[in-house]
Structure 1
Amino acid sequence: MAETREGAIPIQRVPSWGRAVRVARAARSGGLARLAGVRPHLVLALAFLAGYCLLALVRYQRFGSPSWDLGIFTEAVKGYAHLRAPVVSIKGPGFNALGDHWSPILALLAPAFWLVPSAATLLVAQAALFAWSVGVVSDTAARVLGGSTSRGLLIGTAYGLSWGLQRAIDAEFHEIAFAVPLLALVCRQILLGNWERAAWWAMPLVLVKEDLGLTAAAVGVVLMVRGRRWYTGSVLLVFGAVFAALTVLLLIPHFNPNHQFDYWSKLPGGEHPHLWQVVRGAFTRLTVWKTVGWLLGIVGFLALRSPLMLLALPTLAWRFGSANPMFWGSDWHYNATLMPILFLALVDGIDRIRRAEHSVLKGFAEGMVPAAPGIAVACMVSLPVGLGGLADPSAWSGGAHGAALRAAIAQIPPNVRVESSMAPLARLAARDDAYWLGGSKQQAPDFLCVDLAGWSGGPTDLPGYGAALHPGSTYKVVFDRDQVVVLQRQ
């Protein structure tokens, strides 16, 4: 304020036009500098987005689904997109997906499904979420390791190539796709010392899957141990643990047709497991130790130097303590959520070793950065993940059998009740009320879509097969080509 005589109206000084221009130019220059620093990591993320989309969509195009999961998630997202409950007919008439796993975060895909109502939308969404995490890991590594863009890109490339992400892409869409970038952002904020931001990014994990509430609780422990944020950490610890218990004991049973959490049966001893059986199983299975070797080996075991590894313990505990062998190994999508934790723990471990006054691991830690992409590629070769056969033209379309499947799907009108075998299931789920073969006992379906390829001992009398599945109904063949048959109810 300018000095004035008593009683005079004060005059407020304003910056000169030249000063305002200089301030604007400085702000613009700073923004451009930040953008220039982020650009290489954004380009890396876009490159992986293209690669992930290629792998996922080629498999989708050739009808190479390894399970019915893509169809299940397509039905759930379709329900949200139509502002209805996420009913998954594939698992049974009227089955609510929230009675299987607690994944309401899938509703975020509804707008994309409005635009492109296809199972391929989910595959592209997962590719985008994974690619986002690649950019986060790459930029975080560059910041922590001395602002070196090249180091960040090397770590980001190794992470993007990691076998855990590749296995998940190969297994098609799963809800954990949302957890991957969330965990990358949580670890990033912890490494940068943004403790409250880390807590905020951890909280949505409870909407991805029921077990991830325990991971959110583990974030609270890390905030207390590393960040000395006792209040924030303790609140997050309680929030995550209570929400995990709430989903398993109340929310999922509420939506489940049998009013229970079905996965208690996956523990040794069923619904009343003996703690010793769980612990003994986790430490005495060879497959478990092999998986641990693959997980730690891809980061040169240096991730063990970081407290971020605490975040991996809840996932490892429920998987290795399970009685289901599918959870123990390196297959499927179960290791994807561990990849951002491992690689940012690697970054933290390298940084800690570099800053230590005396450490025999300094040379090894420095060499790990350029070696990381090579190790990731070596793991991909040892655990083949969906890259083989892309040079074969039939891999892109499915050949004559793929053409027959597309023609069969075209024979089935939208918005009808249809039972299907594995290959065409996801595509039909995007537009029809789709069931697994024999799954619609209460009401006979309008169509059956049967893929006999690779079905050893499959039925030869298809109308008789349809009548056996649904007594009292008769079916006639309306399409039959290259072992793909469509039957319509009369």
Structure 2
Amino acid sequence: MSKEIWRKRLVYARDRLCLYPEPQPLPRTRTFWVMTGLITLAVVCFCVFYISYMGARHLAFQTNAEDFGIMDQSIWNTSHGNILHDSICNIKGDTNCASPDGYVRFAIHFEPILFPISWLYFLWSDPRVLFFLQTLVVALGAYPAFWLARLRLRNEWLGGAFAFLYLLYPAQLQATTSDFHAVTLTTAFLLFTLYFMYTRQTLWFFVFAILSMACKENIPLVVASIGLWSVLFQRRWKSGLALALLALVWFVVATKVIMPHFSPTGLPLLSGRYGGTGGAGLLLKDALFHPINFLHTYVFEYKHLSYIHAVLAPAGYIPKPHGGGIFYLPMLAPWILVMGLPSLAVNMLSSNSQQYSGLFHYNADLVPIIIFSTIEALLVVRWLVQISLAGLARRGVDASSLQFPGSRWFNQHVLSAILISLLLVGVLGSTLRTDYYFHGQLPVSIGFQWPQASAHEALAQKFMAMIPEDASVSAQTKLVPHLSHRKNIYMFPYAVDTTLTGKQYADKLADYVLLDVTGDIYPYFESPQYITQVKSVLAEGKYGVLAAQDGYLLLKRGLRAPHTLPRTGQAQNPASRLFDLPPGFCSNIYVSEKEVQNPLQVQFQQKDGGKMQLIGYQVGASSPFSRTNGYGTLTTYWRVDQVGKLPLQELILLRGDNGHEYFVSTDVSDLAWCPTQTWKPGSIVRLTSRTFNLQKSGIANGLAQMSIALLPQAQTSSTIMDVQARLPLQVLNAPGTVSVNQSTKALQLMPLTIVD
């Protein structure tokens, strides 16, 4: 057999083993330019919508200290000579706090791309410039998705569908709308890297690989896997090995030299997320010596499996019959998915559950791998169709003469093209379905709302204007991004309480404290803890009230502390302390009669003669309501006929169809600051509960009645369900859906169907 025949056979075997020769170019036909125009239109729409949306979120105080405030402060400080200086951290739930003096951001993440990004602040020194940059870069990733799919599938329309798939992919939209993060830029950078790798354009291959690595310290591991992949599947020994070596050196230098150098602990500040005090070595030891337990903990555990589903399912999945798991379309190309293993490991091995929630920015670098693997999965389907039809031909069936009802004669190429097109339509449908149901960020997604600033949020500007530009501030998480253009800005309670910050930093406490007690309580997860912390700061005496209105508190260090009022609630509960605050502080609870929802009249009677009327309500929960992942709120409207002497609390509960009552919440934070005995007679008060769920309620599936009761604030958690302590009530006027259970003194507001 001649050498030429052997060479042809080897080339054929190489191609069939999924090795990637240099692609044959496609002519740029009219269809190509039409599709390019449609993609450009989609990119422009994407940019206009999400730049506007993220800007509106910021103006509506819906951005966060972590991480938008952190990123903005670090970049702004860099543009003002304080290179990558950060001072924002989570003292309650993370390991990223160093000292009130702050730290260089390289102690947490190695993101040298922030240096050129900081130049934008010379053009427009506004945090929203980061949203403009992030959205624009992410949107441009639609082009390499199109180019790569077009070359692999040899079809402009199929290639264009992948550009739209990329723009709609839930993990990409989650990253784009999760404040600003440098790693989000890798959704586009890595797609350009994969495209230039496939087309063997070495210079641009390295340019975008370096841009990707500059976005976060773990990305070099992804780039190294891409380089090794190029060696194995493209036989590009020099460029592939050179890139892999560069990436590995970059990773080692970043994580073992640069980050420890800038960290006050000698280790990257977030390294505690991996193996605790034992570090990553402990994880490696567990993987080697206890592999079964390791897999059960980090792979087959329910939340980790749910994470894999959340990331891969939008690209298409088929539940296996009779249970036993799910098959994901990208898994047809495991040689592509393997490039995403470093990113999956970083998320799944972390002790921070947000990293494997399927939300936020943590999956940005996985999106390009998923897009590429889905493209290859469709090629596998095409190959399987061709193999199957060839098998039929060997059995005497003329594959070229297969006829379908109402159609023309088909050959194997047409049949496989139709099948691939149908699969791609299914993938797009799966993506849109996930966007609709799973915390989607499209305008048609469940719960999507355009951000709008209320009068209360607009009032924050008045308080921020009272803080000098060179003063240090500790603020609530939603306020931090609006104050982060300064050297030192902290997220409350850091740099305020020496028991948290450290007594050695008593002389470095923040100059000002700005809080909205009606707003977000992060980094606390239960409002009593947050309220106790705020009141402890007031009681400690280091800060006095500079201004207070509508739930806002502006404190200044060195002013006389507010006077403490006698307690009338739970004497041992620090959250029950009251202070002599300016009268306007509680103005946020008072509303006009026209704002009352679902009007009714239900009178509650106190033992000391106090009388209150519930005159409206609004249940912020849908029916059916999920016990596992449903969230709700309850807003109530009250009119005080006669002020009682004792403070009251609101008990939210559910009455099941079995007649039993189930505790839901008493978390109505306004009552901790503006108790019922201080309300103005004749006024209308609006109370809104903190968001609640039913995960700890114990209620079974079925019909339940959302109910409320009033009882003295003195009732502790152990006696909160005591029926005898509840205030008697009488319905004066109410719709038929509202009724009183006199035996439990509870007002049943509306029925809910409880489901899993």
| TM-score, structure 1 normalization | 0.84
Question: 1:467 touches 1:475 (CA, 8 Å); kept in 2?
Answer: no
Q: Which of these residues, 275, 287, 303, is aligned with residue 303 of structure 2?
A: 287
**Structure 2 unpaired stretches of 5+:** 1-27, 90-99, 288-293, 317-327, 390-414, 496-504, 522-526, 560-756
Q: How far off is 1:246 after superposition? A: 1.7
Partners of 1:463 and 1:262 in 2: how far apart? Answer: 30
Whether the 8 Å CA contact 1:350–1:366 is kept in 2: the answer is no
Give the C-alpha shift of residue 432 in structure 1.
6.0
- 222 and 200 in structure 1: CA distance in 2 versus 1, 3 angstrom threshold: farther
Q: SS of the residue aligned with 2:271?
A: helix
Q: Distance in 1 between matches of 2:234 and 2:257?
A: 33
> By how many angstroms is 1:195 displaced?
5.1
CA–CA separation in structure 2 for the residues paired with 1:387 and 1:40:
19
- 1:158 aligns with one of 165, 168, 171: 165
Aligned to 2:518: 453
Q: Are 1:93 and 2:101 an aligned pair?
A: yes
Letter in 1 for 2:113: I
Q: 1:44-67 deviations in whole A, cap 9, x for unaligned? A: 211111222233223222212355
CA spacing shift, 1:446–1:326, aligned 2, 3 Å: same
Question: How far apart are the structure 2 equivalents of 1:225 and 1:325?
Answer: 35
Which has the larger strand fraction? 2
2-structure distance, mates of 1:251, 1:76: 17
Q: What is the root-mean-square deviation of aligned Cα atoms in Å?
A: 3.1
The amino acid across from 1:57 in the alignment is G
Which residue is equivalent to 1:315? 343
Which ranges in structure 1 are unaligned for 5 or more consecutive residues? 1-29
Aligned to 1:476: 545
1:153: how far off?
3.1
Query: Contact between 1:425 and 1:434, CA under 8 Å: does it hold in 2?
Result: yes
2:193 maps to which of 179, 186, 203: 186
Give the secondary structure class of the aligned counterpart of 2:490: strand
Preserved CA contact (<8 Å) 2:545 2:553: no
One of 250, 261, 284 as aligned partner of 1:275: 284
How far did residue 177 of structure 1 move? 1.9
Could you tell me how far apart the structure 1 residues matched to 2:203 and 2:306 are?
36
Pair 1:486 & 2:554 matched: yes
> Quick one: distance in 1 between partners of 2:538 and 2:152?
62
1:225-245 CA deviation, whole Å, 9 max, x = no partner? 121011221222222122212
Q: 100-109 or 126-135: which moved more?
A: 126-135
- Measured in 1, the distance between the counterparts of 2:429 and 2:445 equals 22
Shift, 1:81, TM fit? 1.4
User: Cα–Cα, structure 1 residues 138 and 50, in superposed 2: closer, same or farther, change >3 Å?
Assistant: farther
> 2:443 & 2:359 partners in 1: Cα distance?
16
Q: Bigger relative contact order, structure 1 or 2, given CA contacts below 8 A and separation 6+?
A: 1
Q: Which residue of 1 aligns with 2:71?
A: 73
Distance in structure 2 (CA, Å) of the matches to 1:390 and 1:58: 18
Instruction: Kindly indicate whether residue 473 of structure 2 is the aligned counterpart of residue 405 of structure 1.
Output: no
Q: 150-159 or 95-104, which moves further after superposition? A: 150-159
| In structure 2, distance between residues paired with 1:345 and 1:190 | 15
Q: Distance in 2 between matches of 1:462 and 1:310?
A: 48
Match of 1:298 among 314, 317, 341: 314
Match of 1:370 among 406, 412, 425: 425
Q: Structure 1 residues 247 and 467, CA, compared in 2 at 3 Å: closer, same or farther?
A: farther
Task: Tell me if structure 2 keeps the 8 A contact 1:462–1:477.
Answer: no
Partner of 2:112: 104
Q: Secondary structure at the match of 2:179?
A: coil
Q: How many residues align?
A: 456
| Residue equivalent to 2:146 | 138
Secondary structure at 1:188 match in 2? helix
Displacement after TM superposition at 1:36 (Å): 6.4
Match of 1:333 in 2: 361
Change (3 A) 1:367 1:397: same
Q: Which digits, 9 at most, give the CA deviation of each residue in 1:378-426, with x for residues without a partner?
A: 0112212345799999953331321222332233232322111111101
Distance (whole Å) between structure 2 residues aligned to residue 321 and residue 155 of structure 1:
30
Q: In structure 2, which of residues 208, 219, 224 is the aligned counterpart of residue 212 of structure 1? A: 219
* C-alpha contact 1:41 1:139 (8 A) present in aligned 2: no
Distance 1:277 1:348 in 2: 34
Quick check: 451-460 or 201-210, which moved more? 451-460
Structure 2 match to 1:3: none
Counterpart of 1:450 in 2: which secondary structure?
A: strand
**Structure 2 counterpart of 1:288, one-letter code:** H
Alignment partners' CA distance in 2, 1:256 and 1:167: 30
**Which residue does the alignment assign to 1:228?**
235
Q: 1:155 is paired with a residue of what secondary structure?
A: helix
2:138–2:176 Cα contact (<8 Å) kept: no
The aligned amino acid for 1:209 is K
1:203 matches 2:271: no
SS in 2 for 1:476: strand
Partner amino acid for 2:59?
Q
Helix, strand or coil: the match of 1:273? helix
Q: For the structure 1 residues 408 and 436, does the alpha-carbon distance in structure 2 shift closer, same or farther, using more than 3 Å as the test? A: same
For the residue of structure 1 that corresponds to 2:255, the secondary structure is helix
Distance 1:448 1:160, change over 3 A: same
Question: Could you state the TM-score of these two structures normalised by the residue count of structure 2?
Answer: 0.56
Q: 1:180 to 1:147 in 2, by over 3 A?
A: same
